Amino acid sequence: MSSQLNLSLEDRVALRRTFAIISHPDAGKTTLTEKLLLFGGAIQQAGAVKAKGEARRATSDWMKVEQERGISVSSSVMTYDYEGVTFNLLDTPGHGDFSEDTYRTLTAVDSAVMVLDAAKGIEAQTFKLFEVCRLRDMPITTFVNKLDREGRDPFDIIDEVEQKLAIDVTPASWPIGMGRSFKGVYDLINDKLILVENHAKGRIPLEGAACEGIDDPKLDELLGDEDAATLREQVEMVRELCPAFDKEAYLSGTLTPVYFGSAINNFGVRELLNGVSSNAPAPKTQTTKDRQVLPNEKKVTGFVFKIQANMDPKHRDRIAFVRLCSGHFKKGHKLLHVRSGKTMAVHNPTLFLAQDREIAEDAWPGDIIGIPNHGQLRIGDTLTEGEALRFTGIPSFAPELLQTVRPEDPLKAKHLGKALQQIAEEGAARVIKRNIGSDWIVGVVGPLQFEILADRVRTEFNVAARFEPSPLNTARWVESDDAGELKKFLDKNKSDLGEDHAGAPVFLVRNGWHLNKAQDDYPKLRFLKTKEQLD
């Protein structure tokens, strides 16, 4: 970030892009993340971190279970510079069973890149995540990946994006061929022809040949008459059928520019990165319960959107991921932890490249910093320089699947409780201690989470545990503005109640009838499926 020395707060904000990558599993999201880091100079080859100088697995998939299973189950943060702009890239889990982590991550970014498989188009998880972005009017850039394989007609793909997602589409580049006949793309914004260099596989491709428009005879020389004629015909159709790129429409979330490429071959990545650099929004105004917080305000504010335990297994640490919303943060800064009312000095803040970190001497709005802590910070907590603000919009979801958890060794019950509490603080699962009995109930959104949890409890906390089916159907947080009515319900239903890791009452539901009856009997109570994390 040396190129940003001596810049004002406003200038620093203008030169930041904080964005997430979203996709269905196997669309190539993690590969694209690696290649964005490669182009940004953060790594020298995909999977190798520059600072370490040794080959490793996917930089963004750092958990042991992720490396073993080849899927992303936790959001990673990667900070890097590219041509004078600082990027904070948040790679999210593609697997639907871990979508809660993705939803929360989307509260910490200003835009998103949606990755589609050229053969499959829009898949279920892509659609789900797009809808979350739409609720936030988030600008979305689309990357159609895997052009090196046979896929669907590009017109078909852009039509599907437009129809299924009800969003205007404007291709920023256009593919020339596909699969074995894939020759490259035509950059529609900058009138450049970018060709695949077969001899340069794995390296960063050349910038491309500038053209005097689509009719430039240079195209015939470089592509051959047939491919040049096809390209001209298709580009003409694209320009007739699709609106021109409109930055305001993109920023309001009603239009998505579409880039075509092959992340595994480094192709189309530079154009995507340039597009995000030029068009994606700088850090935006954030909403609190009381007022809007502008990024160029002098005082530091931020909120916790993620907790991760054991990023460094040797130290049993817990890192709170904080999105900075305003002000110039410096190492050692004293910040008010609004929920507790206590002031904490942040002595060892970190910046990330997945699990690799360095001490952050300072940071700016839009940056993501890690704060090591021992459980004081929770998801949804606000940190400020004194003002009692509460940032809004950070969701928590009631579990859809519940299991009972017991230690294999009864003497390890306390250790199991501690492990489950830590995992609950990360937001990776709902952990509920029953009011009657010693059982722990773990609730998740998707079944794969149970396997991951059992594995983590065993490998990270050295506790063998049994996850067993539960007769419970779901769980709901219970709230009411009438304290007397809430107490009456809690007193009468002790056997069906528990507490989550934060001490909030949870109603354990056996079936639909059970929930409906409680709602009928106690109309002044709210049985919440989604809860906003507020400190």
430-451 residue pLDDT tens? 889 998 887 899 988 777 778 8
Residues 106 and 251 reside in one and the same domain: yes
Check residue 278 and give its pLDDT: 95
Asked whether residue 525 is domain-assigned, the answer is yes
From the list 34, 199, 180, the residue with the least C-alpha distance to 115 is 34
- Taking CA atoms, 212 is separated from 60, 89, 157, 191, in Å, by 40, 34, 28, 7
Residues 489 and 513 reside in one and the same domain: yes
Structure-token pair, residue 91: 């790679």
Same domain (yes/no): 346, 212: no
- Tell me what pLDDT residue 76 has: 73
Average pLDDT over residues 417-442: 84
Q: What angle do CA 100, 103, 108 make, to 5 degrees?
A: 130
Residues 346 and 458 both lie in one domain: no
Distance CA 520, CA 518 (A): 5
pLDDT for position 138? 94
What does each C-alpha distance from 107 to 29, 63, 133, 181, 317 come to in angstroms?
Answer: 19, 23, 9, 41, 24
**CB < 8 Å & 24+ apart, contacts of 2-10:** 3/81, 3/84, 4/84, 4/86, 9/296, 9/298, 9/327, 9/328, 9/364, 9/365, 10/296
* Domain end (from 249, 279, 309): 279
- In single-letter form, the type of residue at position 257 comes to P
What span, in angstroms and rounded, lies between the C-alpha atoms of 169 and 156?
Answer: 12
Residue 392 lies in a domain: no
Residue 513 scores a pLDDT above 90: yes
Kindly report which listed range (182-191, 402-411, 427-436, 488-497) carries the lowest average pLDDT score: 427-436
Q: Are residues 126 and 266 in the same domain?
A: yes
Last residue of a domain, one of 384, 406, 441: 384
Q: Is 389 among the domain residues? A: no
- Does the pLDDT at position 230 exceed 60? yes
CATH number at residue 434: 3.30.70.3280
For position 213, what pLDDT does the model report? 85
The tokens describing 208, both together, are 């491309």
Residue 342 CB-half CA count within 13 A: 6
Cα separation, 116 vs 309, whole angstroms = 31
Q: pLDDT-derived band of residue 99, with 50, 70 and 90 as boundaries?
A: low
- Looking at 279, 296, 329, the residue that finishes a domain is 279
Residues 78, 185 within the same domain: yes
Helix, strand, coil distribution of the chain in percent, nearest 5: 30, 30, 40
pLDDT bucket at 43, cuts 50 / 70 / 90: low
For residue 528, what are the CA distances in angstroms to 102, 111, 398, 496, 521? 20, 29, 7, 16, 16
Q: Is residue 505 part of a domain?
A: yes
Residue 494 domain flag: yes
Tell me, what's the pLDDT at 203?
59
- Distance of alpha carbon 76 from alpha carbon 91, whole angstroms: 5
- Rounded mean pLDDT of the chain? 85
Greatest mean pLDDT range, 17-31, 48-62, 106-120, 345-359: 106-120
Which letter does DSSP use for residue 391 in this model? B
Q: Do 494 and 414 lie in a common domain?
A: yes
Residues 269, 161 share a domain: yes
This prediction's pTM: 0.78
Six token digits for residue 65: 């279970």
Domain assignment of residue 498, yes or no: yes
Structure tokens of 520?
């009928």
- Whether 203 and 331 share a structural domain: no
What CATH number does residue 358 fall under? 3.40.50.300
- Confidence at 114, pLDDT banded by 50, 70, 90: very high
Give the chain's domain count.
3
Helix (H) or strand (E) holding 10: helix 9-14
Q: Same structural domain for residues 376 and 471?
A: no
Measured CA to CA in angstroms, residue 97 lies from 120, 202, 304, 476 at distances of 20, 32, 22, 19
Q: Which residues of 375-398 are buried (b: 16+ CB within 10 A; e: fewer)?
A: eebbbbbbbbbeeebbbbbbbbbb
Q: Decide if 390 is inside a domain.
A: no
Containing structural domain, residue 245:
2-279
pLDDT at 97: 46
The answer to whether the beta carbons of residues 32 and 143 sit under 8 Å apart is yes
159 and 178 housed in the same domain: yes
Residue 393 lies in a domain: no
Q: How far is CA 63 from the centre of its chain?
A: 16
Regarding whether 312 and 267 lie in a shared domain, the answer is no
Which tokens go with 336? 């008010």
Cβ–Cβ < 8 Å for 205, 266? yes
